[in-house]
Amino acid sequence: MKDISEIRNDFPILGRTVYGKPLIYFDNGATTQKPVCVVDAVREVYTSYNGNIHRGVHAMSDLTSEAFENAREKVRRFINAAEKEEIIFTSGTTGSINAVAFSFGERFIRPGDEVVISALEHHANIVPWQMMCSRKKAVLKVIPVNDSGELILEEYRNLLSEKTKIVAVTQVSNALGTIVPLDKIIKDAHALDIPVLVDGAQGIQHGNVDVTALDCDFYVFSGHKIYGPTGIGVLYGKKKWLSDLPPWQGGGDMVDKVTFEETTYNELPFKFEAGTMNYAGAIGMGAALDYVSGLGRNDIAQREKMLLDYASQRLTAVKGLKIYGTSPDKIPTISFLLDGIHQYDTGMVLDKMGIAVRTGTHCAQPVMARFGIEGTVRMSMSFYNTTEEIDTLGMGIEKIIRMFT
């Protein structure tokens, strides 16, 4: 892995100031910053070869189509999918989950059937299933969590039955940082021939993801969470499932033949990519995956573990600070509250110090309800953060405590 100063030079925004203070960016769970290579890749699309994909016989269209399909292959390699046709480009994790919830519901869900999710989910992996269950008169079941923010697997196993048609769980809690034991979740579901969707929005950027080894049936993530552009995401699905699911959108490029009597659909993956795709975003995401691979995903995981350990020790030492989510298996994310100080006040004062954190419910209101709180302050780190930045955060928190007491 490159030296940290070299890495930080790859991200120009990290060199800016906020309110006259050096920017300390601890909101990577919301979105990551972008290396120059990603910005350059998107710029090159629009300055060198921009043309609508799959629809032209001219050079610009051919060049853009080739770059777009090369990005699909990069995604396939990055998550070790068996075939390129199993990679569907979407608008992001939310779009991917909505797509599966709609299509799977239309094809497989009947009144009285059950869908299992967990109490750790982001709203994006709750609401689409609620909508589908309401439409199809199905039942939503929820895996509970313990006081450490971990799923209670015994309760999960008790939820599974012949009525369960799909399990949809997060790989990592965005609110607490808890890593979910996907191997056990998937094994137990597959023992009953139940497919599993994994929300990888908070997992894809923090280590190796191998969908073949995981044996998950669907895996979804967003480009902007892994140093790529916004507005682009991925739906991986096993070919046997994608072949059997109906399209969730209709339009150009996803069709084979259209008459006023009927329409036949294109082959995979195109039958799920209606209209003009965000090809510049996909190409930019491909550049981001190349960048991450170049740094080394094992090296990234090792560095982020060091940062998590350092930050946990530093914040635990602060009197009046309580951490929520204390599982030993976590990504470099820490959610906390200060005694008697509202999370928004903490976040706003830290902002004036140049420190960016996230405050509120983190689109995970059921998680907050489980712990009886209105929200938290969340620091979410990346490999480009430093121990010096963590020390500055710790001193900033101690200053806030003195200000409010």
Q: What is the CATH number of the domain that holds 342?
A: 3.90.1150.10
Is there a domain that residue 33 lies in?
no
Neighbours of 401 (CB within 10 A): 18
**Tokens for 383?**
């490999």
159 and 284 in one domain? Answer: yes
The answer as to whether 96 is a domain residue is yes
Q: Which structural domain range is residue 237 located in? A: 39-294
In a domain, 31, yes or no: no
Q: Is there a single domain that holds both residue 361 and residue 305?
A: yes
Give the residue from 294, 315, 336 where a domain finishes. Answer: 294
Considering Cα of 131, then 135, then 138, then 139, what sign does the dihedral take? positive
C-alpha count within 13 angstroms, C-beta hemisphere, residue 132: 29
Residues 365, 115: Cα–Cα separation, whole Å? 20
Distance CA 76, CA 71 (A): 9
pLDDT at 55: 77
What is the rounded distance in angstroms from the CA atom of residue 66 to the CA atom of residue 109?
A: 38
What pLDDT sits at residue 2? 87
**Token pair recorded at residue 105:** 């519901």
Same domain, 190 and 300: no
What is the β-pairing status of strands 114-118 and 139-143?
Answer: parallel
Question: Based on the domain organization, do 327 and 277 belong to the same domain?
Answer: no
CA angle 240, 244, 246 (to 5 degrees): 140
> 132 and 215: one domain?
yes
User: How many domains would you assign to the chain?
Assistant: 2
For residues 281 and 306, membership in a common domain is answered with no
Residues 218, 184: one domain? Answer: yes
Please list the pLDDT of the chain residue by residue as tens digits (405 residues).
Answer: 789 999 999 999 999 999 999 999 999 999 999 999 999 999 999 999 999 999 788 999 999 999 999 999 999 999 999 999 999 999 999 999 999 999 999 999 999 999 999 999 999 999 999 999 999 999 999 999 999 999 999 999 999 999 999 999 999 999 999 999 999 999 999 999 999 999 999 999 999 999 999 999 999 999 999 999 999 999 999 999 999 999 999 999 999 999 999 999 999 999 999 999 999 999 999 999 999 999 999 999 999 999 999 999 999 999 999 999 999 999 999 999 999 999 999 999 999 999 999 999 999 999 999 999 999 999 999 999 999 999 999 999 999 999 998
Which tokens hold the place of 79? 């998550």
What pLDDT is attached to residue 56? 81
End residue of a domain, out of 294, 326, 351:
294
Q: Is residue 32 part of a domain?
A: no
Active site residue 363: yes
**pTM across the whole model:** 0.97
Rounded distance between C-alpha atoms, residue 232 and residue 221, angstroms = 9
Q: Is residue 74 part of a domain?
A: yes
Within-domain flag for 11: yes
**Looking at 37, 133, 216, 363, which residue is catalytic?**
363
User: What is the C-alpha separation between 389 and 397, in angstroms, rounded?
Assistant: 12
Whether 266 is in a domain gets the answer: yes
| Res 376: pLDDT | 98
185 shares a domain with 75: yes
Residue carrying structure tokens 């830290």: 350
Q: Does 261 share its domain with 140?
A: yes
pLDDT at residue 1 in the model: 78
Q: 125 Cβ partners below 8 Å, 6+ apart?
A: 97, 117, 168, 169, 170, 199
User: Does one domain contain both 287 and 311?
Assistant: no
Bridging pattern class, strands 196-199 and 164-170: parallel
Same domain, 276 and 367: no
Residues 6+ apart with CB under 8 A from 31: 224, 225, 230
CB 29 within 8 A of CB 358: yes
> Is residue 34 one of the residues assigned to a domain?
no
- Among 294, 314, 338, which residue terminates a domain? 294
Closest CA to 382 of 296, 287, 301: 301
Which tokens sit at 241?
């499932």
Domain shared by 131 and 85, yes or no: yes
Phi, psi of 149 (to 5 degrees): 85, 25
Residue 211: CATH number of its domain: 3.40.640.10
